[in-house]
Structure 1
Amino acid sequence: MPNLAGPAVRLIDETGSHSSSGLVEVQTANGHGTVCGLDQGAADTICRLMGFQEGSVVKGACSSIHGHNLCGSRGMPVAMQQLSCKGTEQNLAQCQWVVPRGECLEHFHDSVVECHGGSASSSFRTALRLVDAQGRPSQSSSGRLEVLLQGHGWSPVCSSGFGIGSAAAACKSLGFAAVDGNPVHSCNEDEDICGTALPQVQLLCDGTEPDVSKCSQKVGDEVFCAPHENDVARARTPLCTGRHRLQHWLQSTC
């Protein structure tokens, strides 16, 4: 049974690149996994989490989408089967699905989605992640905080101005109950967790926001943050606390 590590979702095209149309992959504790079957509401939720206005399910076998085989590779995890959403969820934990089994595990029925209408109201997607010192998705509530920027991939978050309110909003977006009570660390306090990319996101939240997309934000050239040492990072103590909602849902229903 997959142990989903966060709300991050992506679409991968025939070249293996992130795209607005492609194979649906959901972040799990064992890497990204595919989705075996989903409905229109799920397509809308996935695309809105990525910063688009709506989505559509691409019909047909994943092995022959516009002449390309987009199915997941053999041995790749299958994260969900029959994913069903209303289209308004803040993260995939609020949707319904079943544990993949049977033919789903062979990737013959992997889902492909196409997103439409890039959002002009938010500079970044609501997808966040915590990564460990090796750059892998963290399997705990500690790590370097990164945000998925539209068209630019994952970016570290600048620690300047990142207070308890921003940490609370980030933890909600990641699916945790609350922020840890200890002060937020910057990367220079945990050198092994420092990233290599220049932080391009600054979050200014009061903690009441349902997710970081509702926070005041600075992106790109608006951010004046020294590289590496000013990343938001918690390598040795948790950034967030409380049982992860996705883990709780899976363990209580499966």
Structure 2
Amino acid sequence: LTGGGDRFGRVTVVINGEEGTICNRNWDSREADVICRQLGFSTGEIYAGTYTDVAKGKVWDTHFMCTGYENDLNECVLGGWELATRWSCEMHKDDVGVSCYSNVKLTTLSGRSGSSGAVQLYKNSRWWRVCDDGFDDFTAKKVCEELGFVDGRSICCSAFGVTYTDVIANNTLHCDRDDKSIIGCIKDKPCNSSFYASAVCFSNYSIEENKYNFSLEKKDSGHVKVDHYGITGRICSRDWDDKDALVMCRMSGFSNGIAYQHSESTVLEVIRGPYWLAGLNCTGNETDLMACPHNDRTDLGNCSNSNIASVLCYNGTE
């Protein structure tokens, strides 16, 4: 793999003694699984990020027909290697890339992987959501280090919303100082909370722990967006009322406002992010939502079936 890191990047091959890349004309998640397994990982997916270098050399094309269970691309049915002739292939614009995983990954509800999301553990040849019992910041850091980051923070309570992937019922994930890998962090304890754990990973140690930036979906209305750790998220609608909305609207330059609850299904996942706050209990006199009693990422409570805190702001007494 080139143009990325130890576990992700552009796939390079050597055909007839010439090194080159592969055009992704017939490449899907099954081929990604196989190439990652061939490289010593458990599973993989198509890489959707950018590359850190400029690709050079030949671009090869073939028709892959993998089932996804092979251990080597050579075990798949191939249509024969030939030089790519499509312009986008020739210019390395469609080079195949993969992200490979051994034991853990972070995913959003759509299945996209990245630097934040629900923690998933690879066990018995499938991915499971990790129970949030015992999942703390040190464990999140260990997860993030395994994914190539330097630090991380935990988020409790199924923060990315309802999921249809099973939570491991008979294991939890909690790392101690002497655990050398994530596998050593798996504990034989039942999941009592039924919530899944989430994490956000960082590429450096410059983390602003207490910085929250608030904005609205629209100029004067919509769901409240919360930017924390560089990730845009939301506020759980549990206990969200007009007093909380009034404070948010004043922060946005309005004199008044009322609360409502925004359905999760109407907000694109790519912009809604995790729940960062819950249980807001403003008096209405505060100048900032963070001055109100609230629960943060460590104690969100049950928000997995909640709607998103939203406001309608206005001036005067409309």
Same fold, TM exceeding 0.5? no
Which structure is larger by alpha-carbon Rg, 1 or 2? 2
TM range (shorter): 0.3 to 0.5
Q: What is the TM-score normalised by the length of structure 1?
A: 0.43
Question: TM-score scaled to structure 2, two decimals?
Answer: 0.36
Using CA pairs below 8 Å that are at least 6 residues apart, which structure has the higher relative contact order? 1
